[in-house]
C-alpha cells in the first residue's frame, strides 16, 4: 500500500490564515539534515533557512469534491528551503519536510495514509489580548506572540535580509515540496498552486519553539515573519522521479 503515501490524488483547501516564520542559520549546519538529492536554497551563499508555517485550513478535501465533505484543521509545518534539479534539467525551488503537526486526530490519520508528511497531533491555543495574538502549544512546547499593528514593521533584529523584498523570496510556501524515498532512491515531488497570495509583514514580540531548540543550532536568528489570509490552495497529484 506504499503507493497511497505518494499523494495519489490532488487535494484542495482554503487557507483562512497562514503565519510563516523563517529562521536563518549558517548553511553548514543545515546541510546534514537534507538528503543528497537536494541542495540548500541559500541567501548570499551563506544563510540557509527553516520555515515554520502555522495554517488554519478549511474545506480540506480531494480536489473536485463538494465543500461539505471538507474538513477544518490547524496545521503546523517545519520545512527547510531547498532546490532540486529534475530530469528535465529544471532547478526547482521548494521545501523539505522535517515535521508536521495538526490539532486533529483525523488529519493525522489521513495525512499519514496519503502523504509522507510525518504528522503528529498536538494542542493548539490561540488567544487575543489587546493588540497581541498568542499562539501556543503545551504538548509541543512552543509559544509565539504577535503584535497586531497597522504601522510599518521593521525587519527582525539580526536578520540577514536588508529589506522585506529580499525576505519575501523566503516567505514560503514555495511551489514544490520534496520527499526523498530512500528505499526506492527516488524523489516525490508535490506541486502546490495558490491564489491571492499577498504576504504582510508582521511584528514578532516573542517566540519559542522546542523543536528548533532540539537541533542546538548556533546563532540561529529570525529572518522574517509574514501573515497571509484568504488563500485558495490546491496540491497536484504527486510525481516521482528516480535519483541516483
Give the 3-state secondary structure of the chain: CHHHHHCCCCEEEEEEEEEEEEEEEEHHHHHHHCCCCCEECCECCCEEEEEEEEEEEEEEEECCCCHHHCEEEEEEEEEEEEEEECCCCCEEEEEEEEEEEECCHHHHHHHHHHCCCCEEECCCEEEEECCEEEEEECCCCEEEEEECCCCCCCCCCCCCCCCHHHHHCCCCCCCEEEEEECCCCEEEEEEEEECCCCCEECEEEEEEEHHHHCCCCCCCEEEEEEEEEEEEEEECCCEEEECC
The reported pLDDT for the residue numbered 195 is: 86
In the predicted model, what is the mean pLDDT of residues 75-82?
96
The reported pLDDT for the residue numbered 24 is: 97
Evaluate whether 225 touches 22 at the Cβ level (below 8 Å): yes
For the chain, what is the domain count?
1
In the predicted model, what is the mean pLDDT of residues 122-127?
96
Task: Give the integer Cα–Cα distance in Å for 135 and 126.
Answer: 5
The reported pLDDT for the residue numbered 5 is: 87
243 within domain boundaries: no
Mean pLDDT of the chain: 93
114 within domain boundaries: yes
Q: Which residue has the cell 509583514?
A: 201
Task: Provide the pLDDT confidence category of residue 226 given band limits of 50, 70 and 90.
Answer: very high
64 within domain boundaries: yes
pTM, two decimals, is 0.93
Nearest to 48 by CA among 244, 220, 227: 220
209 within domain boundaries: yes
Domain around 38: 2-238
Nearest to 56 by CA among 19, 105, 15: 15
In the predicted model, what is the mean pLDDT of residues 141-151?
95
161 within domain boundaries: yes
What dihedral angle (degrees, nearest 10) is formed by the CA atoms of 80, 39, 4, 110? Answer: 0
| CATH for 38 | 2.40.400.10
244 within domain boundaries: no
In the predicted model, what is the mean pLDDT of residues 156-185?
89
The reported pLDDT for the residue numbered 216 is: 94
The DSSP bridge partners found for residue 176 are 94, 191
The reported pLDDT for the residue numbered 217 is: 95
Nearest to 95 by CA among 59, 53, 124, 54: 53
Task: Give the integer Cα–Cα distance in Å for 80 and 95.
Answer: 5
158 within domain boundaries: yes
Please give the residue that has the higher pLDDT: either 172 or 148.
148
60 within domain boundaries: yes
Ramachandran class of 100: left when φ > 0, alpha when ψ lies in -120 to 50, beta otherwise: beta
Task: Provide the pLDDT confidence category of residue 1 given band limits of 50, 70 and 90.
Answer: low
In the predicted model, what is the mean pLDDT of residues 191-205?
92
Amino acid at each position: 500500500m506504499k503507493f497511497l503515501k505518494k499523494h495519489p490524488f490532488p487535494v484542495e483547501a482554503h487557507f483562512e490564515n497562514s503565519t510563516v516564520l523563517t529562521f536563518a542559520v549558517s548553511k553548514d549546519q543545515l546541510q546534514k539534515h537534507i538528503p543528497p538529492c537536494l541542495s540548500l536554497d541559500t541567501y548570499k551563499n551563506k544563510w540557509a533557512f527553516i520555515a515554520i508555517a502555522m495554517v488554519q485550513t478549511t474545506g480540506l478535501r480531494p480536489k473536485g469534491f463538494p465543500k461539505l465533505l471538507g474538513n477544518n484543521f490547524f496545521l503546523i509545518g517545519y520545512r527547510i528551503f531547498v532546490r532540486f534539479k529534475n530530469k528535465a534539467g529544471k532547478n526547482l525551488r521548494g521545501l523539505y519536510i522535517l515535521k508536521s503537526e495538526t490539532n486533529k486526530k483525523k488529519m493525522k490519520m489521513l495525512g499519514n495514509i496519503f502523504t509522507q508528511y510525518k504528522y503528529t497531533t498536538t494542542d493548539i491555543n490561540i488567544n487575543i489580548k489587546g493588540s497581541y495574538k498568542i499562539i501556543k502549544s503545551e504538548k509541543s512546547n512552543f509559544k509565539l506572540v504577535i503584535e497586531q499593528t497597522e504601522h510599518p514593521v521593521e525587519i527582525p533584529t539580526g536578520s540577514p535580509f536588508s529589506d522585506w523584498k529580499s525576505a519575501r523570496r523566503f516567505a514560503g510556501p514555495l511551489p514544490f515540496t520534496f520527499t526523498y524515498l530512500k528505499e526506492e532512491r527516488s524523489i516525490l515531488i508535490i506541486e502546490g498552486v495558490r491564489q491571492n497570495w499577498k504576504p504582510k509583514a508582521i511584528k514578532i514580540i516573542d517566540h519559542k519553539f522546542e523543536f528548533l531548540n532540539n537541533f542546538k543550532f548556533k546563532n540561529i536568528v529570525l529572518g522574517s515573519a509574514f501573515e497571509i489570509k484568504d488563500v485558495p490552495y490546491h496540491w497536484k497529484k504527486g510525481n516521482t522521479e528516480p535519483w541516483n
